[in-house]
Amino acid sequence: MVRPEMKVSEVLQRWPELLEVLVEASPAFRRLHNPLLRRTMPRLVTVAQAARIAGMPPETLVSQLNAALGVETKPMEMPIASDSKLHTPPPPWLQTPVGAHLDVRPILEAGEEPFPKIMAAARTVKPGGRLVLEAPFEPLPLYRVLAKQGFSAWCEQLGAQHYRVHFYREPLPTQPEPTSSSSEPLTEADWQAHHAELTVDASWEPPLPMQRILEALAALEPGQRLLVHHVRRPIHLLARLEAEGYRYALRDLGPGRVDLLIEKPR
């Protein structure tokens, strides 16, 4: 069954026939016929977010996708909690200085992963400053990640696929500063000297992959590294690793093959 929190990429990988259902649901999905574009936006966007990009209720899109699979969904089976900052009153800090400005749209169009660049930009913003992000959709999971680092958020929609998101770093002296160790990239020698290895099975349903990875990390000593052979880029896991100070590196080996090296904080 398709759930609103599932990534579009995961849906299309499991049920390729749903591509035509998406295209028929809204003209906004027609570009998914392009193989290059299918490797960018869908791997980061959830079904619920895709519905909002297309200007339709998330529950409507989820119902249409499940109907094509012959699955009947009831409204109570798919609650869609929204942390959206759209259509909320502008906060008083909106005129504070901009510490960093990043447009992730060309990064996504190039088929690259924007998350490390977003976090790098966030680290440069001082308390009392703002990170301004230009994105093709509202990045709901990012709100929780940056909130752990002392950021408040507000979002405005400037176009059909243009969202400007403002992240304000609260000037609280109790907020921990990010450690320099998490910003130092892992080296080729680190890849060759991992201490444990885990292979994620394609049949594992979320959140099992994340649970197994976190269990494996818990068994390591500080400074040791875990090599994970994954079937996709684990965006929610990366957000958690970043928030908790882990160093990590990714290698995209092709469709359904991603290697992830994670070093436990010292």
Residue 104 backbone dihedrals phi, psi, to 5 degrees? -90, -5
pLDDT tens per residue, range 126-148: 999 999 999 987 887 788 888 88
CB atoms within 10 A of CB 23: 15
% of the chain surpassing 70 pLDDT: 83
Contact (Cβ atoms closer than 8 angstroms) between residue 112 and residue 96: no
Residue 74, pLDDT > 80, answer no
SS percent in the chain: helix, strand, coil, step 5: 40, 20, 40
CB contact at 8 A, 176 and 170: no
Q: Give the strand pairing for 257-263 and 247-254.
A: antiparallel
Q: Give ∠ CA 178-181-183 in degrees, rounded to 5.
A: 70
Average pLDDT over every residue of 239-256: 86
The pLDDT, as a whole number, for residue 175 is 38
Helix (H) or strand (E) holding 196: strand 196-199
Cα 98 to chain centroid distance, Å, stands at 23
Closest by CA position to 135, among listed 40, 249, 243: 40
Band (115; pLDDT cuts 50, 70, 90): confident
User: What is the reported pTM?
Assistant: 0.53
Fold agreement between 92-169 and 180-263: yes
Confirm or reject CATH 3.30.110 for domain 92-169, answering yes or no.
Answer: yes
pLDDT digits (tens, 9 = 90+) for 176-199: 444 434 557 899 999 999 999 999
Architecture category of domain 180-263 in CATH: 2-Layer Sandwich (3.30)
Tokens of 133: 């992000």
Q: What is the DSSP letter of 13?
A: H
Q: Tell the residue number behind the tokens 């529950």, with chain if given.
A: 59
Token representation of residue 211: 């649970």
Over residues 18-71, the pLDDT tens digits come to 989 888 877 667 767 666 555 555 555 778 877 876 667 888 899 999 999 998
Domain ranges of the chain: 8-75, 92-169, 180-263
Burial class, 49, CB count within 10 angstroms (exposed 0-12 / middle 13-18 / buried 19+):
buried
